């Protein structure tokens, strides 16, 4: 069934402005009562399912609200804009309850298009938010980006490369007049050439850039967040599991070290005994750190 105009209805106390029925939001009951959801919004004026985003607005909006862009993980190969919200349910609920808009975005997988398609999609989603800020009551001067695993890689890349003016990181016609005030990176890759699969054509990082990183170090460098670190970058909160066996904690240590070398405010939290992802990252201590970091740099 196709619906050509938005539909407004109430579900579990959440106001939903649904743009269509292409996807059913399976995480809406995790958000505070009276959260306003603009679901399945296409951010590129096309028909690609991977060019959709969900906007979760806090209840009782009074003026423009700061924005937290939420980028899911999945090795650049799987998952969607609902992933990671499920095991971070207390954190996302508190973000919205504190008065922030949470915008969860989809992007093309590496099997659909190689890099830089993913960063182009993420930046295009933010450009859409800038262009439609009045419609959704968004404060375009207060935007943070948060990502998990592959999404942490993309979030870091967004935050670090924005001031470098990398032309092919934006689609033609995309608004580029925005800056990120803060980045929250959960266990994201920082330097692709240091991955164990850097010589494996079937590794996620090889599929991302179209070749094993050791075979094409030039492409790996372009796709690695550490390439773009400089003194003009936004502050970072970096969180990684001590026992992560998919993305080594050394990746986050390397990123933190480069940020420190360049005088960029950052904090690295290594969660004792934590694996690559899961509810160990949604505990009160980590959640409080995230909220404090957002409040410090976005207000509210």
List the chain domain ranges.
Answer: 7-298
Q: What is the pLDDT of residues 191-209, one digit of tens each?
A: 999 999 999 999 999 999 9
- Mean of per-residue pLDDT scores for the chain: 94
pLDDT band at 85 (very low <50, low <70, confident <90, very high): very high
Q: What is the pLDDT of residues 221-231, one digit of tens each?
A: 999 999 999 99
Q: What is the pLDDT of residues 99-158, one digit of tens each?
A: 999 999 999 999 999 999 999 999 999 999 999 999 999 999 999 999 999 999 999 999
* Separation between Cα atoms, residue 256 and residue 151, nearest integer Å: 17
Helices (H), 196-262: 204-209, 217-222, 249-261
pLDDT band at 24 (very low <50, low <70, confident <90, very high): confident
**Among positive and negative, which fits the CA dihedral 287, 232, 252, 208?**
positive
* Separation between Cα atoms, residue 154 and residue 119, nearest integer Å: 6
> Which pLDDT value is given to residue 15?
62
pLDDT band at 249 (very low <50, low <70, confident <90, very high): very high
Question: What topology is assigned to 7-298 in CATH?
Answer: Rossmann fold (3.40.50)
Higher-scoring residue by pLDDT: 22, 185: 185
**CA 234 to each of CA 157, 159, 231: distance values in angstroms, whole numbers, following the listed order:** 11, 7, 9
> Which pLDDT value is given to residue 60?
84
Cβ atoms of 293 and 261 closer than 8 Å: no
> Which pLDDT value is given to residue 125?
99
Residue in 157, 110, 136, 177 with CA at minimum distance from that of residue 255: 157
| Phi, psi torsion values for 43, nearest 5 degrees | -100, 0
Cβ atoms of 285 and 279 closer than 8 Å: no
Angle between helices 117-131 and 150-161 (to 10 degrees): 60
pLDDT of 189 above 60: yes
pLDDT of 11 above 60: no
**Which residues does 120 contact at the CB level (< 8 Å), separation at least 6?**
168, 169, 170, 171
This prediction's pTM: 0.93
pLDDT of 265 above 60: yes
């Amino acid at each position: 069934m196709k619906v050509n105009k938005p539909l407004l209805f109430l579900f579990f106390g959440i106001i939903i402005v649904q743009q269509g029925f292409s996807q059913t939001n399976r995480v809406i009951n995790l958000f505070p009562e009276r959260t306003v959801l603009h679901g399945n919004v296409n951010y590129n004026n096309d028909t690609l399912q991977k060019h959709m985003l969900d906007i979760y607005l806090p209840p009782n909006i009074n003026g423009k609200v700061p924005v937290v862009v939420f980028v899911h993980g999945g090795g650049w190969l799987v998952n969607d804009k609902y992933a990671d919200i499920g095991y971070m349910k207390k954190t996302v609920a508190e973000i919205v309850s504190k008065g922030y808009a949470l915008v969860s975005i989809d992007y093309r997988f590496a099997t659909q298009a190689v890099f830089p398609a993913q960063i182009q999609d993420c930046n295009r989603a933010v450009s859409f938010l800038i262009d439609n800020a009045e419609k959704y009551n968004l404060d375009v001067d207060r935007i943070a980006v948060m990502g998990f695993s592959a999404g942490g890689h993309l979030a870091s890349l967004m935050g670090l490369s924005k001031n470098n003016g990398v032309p092919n990181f934006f689609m033609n016609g995309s608004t580029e007049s925005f800056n990120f005030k803060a980045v929250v990176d959960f266990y994201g890759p920082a330097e692709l050439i240091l991955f164990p699969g850097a010589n494996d054509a079937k590794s996620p990082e090889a599929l991302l850039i179209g070749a094993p990183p050791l075979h094409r170090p030039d492409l790996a460098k372009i796709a690695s967040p550490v390439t773009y670190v400089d003194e003009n970058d936004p502050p970072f909160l970096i969180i990684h599991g001590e026992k992560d066996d998919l993305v080594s904690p050394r990746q986050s240590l390397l990123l933190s070290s480069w940020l420190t070398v360049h005088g960029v405010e950052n904090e690295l939290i290594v969660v004792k005994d934590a694996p690559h992802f899961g509810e160990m990252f949604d505990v009160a201590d980590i959640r409080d750190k995230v909220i404090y970091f957002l409040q410090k740099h976005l207000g509210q």
